[in-house]
Chain A
Amino acid sequence: MAKKYTKEHEWIEVAGTVGTVGISDYAQEQLGDVVFVELPKVGATVAKNGQIAVVESVKAASEIYAPVSGTVAAVNEALAKEPALVNQSAEDKGWFFKIALSDPGELAGLMDAAAYKKFTEGKA
Chain B
Amino acid sequence: MTVRSMDNGMPGRAELRLGLGEDELQFKASVERLLARDYGVERRRVALANGGFDPDFWQQLAELGWLGACFPEPLGGYGQSANEALILLEQFGRALVLEPLLGAVLVPGAALLAGGRADAHGALIDGLIAGERRLALAWSEQGRRGARRPRLTSAVRDQRGWCVNGVKQTVLNAPLADTLLVSAIAGEDSVLLLVPHDAPGVSLIEYTTIDGQPAADLRFTNVVLPDDALAAGPERCERAMDAAMNWGAAGACAEALGAMDAALELTLEYTGTRQQFGQKLSGFQVIQHRLAAMATELEYSQALLPLLAAHLDGNGADRSAQIAGIRARIVGSARCVVADAVQLHGGIGVTDEAAISHYFRRVTALEQAWGSARQNLERYRQGRQGYDPLRLQ
* A, B bound: no
B-side residues, CB < 8 A to A, are none
Q: Contact residues of A with B, CB < 8 Å?
A: none
